Amino acid sequence: MTNTVNRRKFLRGTALAGAATLATPALAANDGITLKMQAAWGGGIFLENAQSYVNRVNEMSGGALTIDLLPVNSVVKTSQMQDAVHRGVLDAAHYVPAYWYSKSKAASLFGTGPCFGWSSQEVLGWVHYGGGQELFDELMASLRLNVVSFFNSPMPAQPLGWFKEEIKDASQMNGLKYRTVGLAADVLLEMGMSVVQLPGGEIQPAMKSGLIDAAEFNNPTSDRDFGMQDVSKHYHLASFHQSQEFFECTFNKETYESLPAELQAILKYASEAENSNFYWNNTKRYADDLVTLRDEQGVNVYRTPDSVMAEQLKAWDVVVDRISNEEPFFAKVVESQKAYAKNVMNYLNLNQPDYKLAYNHYFG
């Protein structure tokens, strides 16, 4: 990279929250490039995951590129992060598409959409090899957003969450004030719940004060960190409301395209590498914290009844059909996802043995 090009690379100074203008360019020290990335997480395992991606980029670049990770609300509010990256106030962001899906309901299909019999792993397969990335780029172009995004970290299905009593039938959920995000809000509204969309850090206080009756966030580790075990002792695992999700690492498009090809490749392939690290690390942490919640903190852990999840699937059908009739691009994404899921899951369902059968053989 020439000195002339180097001078065009800059360290963006930390902007004031809510700033409406671009960050003022500054020369990068020692000809290295530094990017400011804000995370949607103030702490806990998700901030650790964001830092893990950043560490991979920093180590792989050998000092040519450094990402400076900032916690939630450091520059702008979570709801403003995508716009901040678009404008150049931030160089990058680490969050999930459900946090900005108000701009387009199709955004929620990239991580928090209906379950077509697949997990997060297969949805990421669709992103990389089923046309999903191209459809996402098409969505960005239609919204005129100046961003480039990579997806990583296949999350296990999210628990149905925390309730005041054990849920044995879907009728018990009718009328409950419940916290979730993304298209899941539409689905649970269809099931008769009253839905409130809150940031993670506000969930436990809201349930403690009675603002909400029940809630989900994402996983046993985060839930335990939030102190959900202090406001409820009834925890339901398994659900179709958000049965697949992953992180979005988004970059200002002009900044990304100004990088040398090898640094662009590092941002991309570090994201792919983080897939495996996330799954290995987080599933072990979730498993350990679930045991702690149950055995040390008195939480009753249940598997959500199949009858409740069957009602969720019916609600998904209603929501997907309604939005597909309203938004042609939404319908286009759903059609692409269904084609991929039908093909890939046909193979996997035929080939995968019943792992639960083997588990019960050894552990009861």
Which CATH fold would you assign to the domain 3-154+245-283?
A: D-Maltodextrin-Binding Protein; domain 2 (3.40.190)
The string of pLDDT tens digits covering residues 12-34 is 333 333 333 334 333 344 579 99
How much is the pLDDT for 198? Answer: 83
**pLDDT greater at residue 7 or residue 331:** 331
161-243+300-363, which class in CATH? Answer: alpha beta
Residues paired with 179 in a beta bridge: 196, 215
How much is the pLDDT for 30? Answer: 53
In this structure, the number of other CB atoms found within 10 A of the CB of residue 267 comes to 23
How much is the pLDDT for 192? Answer: 95
Q: Is the full-model pTM beyond 0.75? A: yes
Euclidean distance between CA atoms 74 and 313, whole angstroms: 38
Q: Domain segments of the chain: what residues?
A: 3-154+245-283, 161-243+300-363
How much is the pLDDT for 201? Answer: 82
Euclidean distance between CA atoms 25 and 17, whole angstroms: 17
Average pLDDT of the residues in 285-301: 98
Share of residues in the chain with pLDDT > 70 (%): 92
Average pLDDT of the residues in 237-266: 97
Q: Let me know if the fold of 3-154+245-283 is the same as that of 161-243+300-363.
A: yes
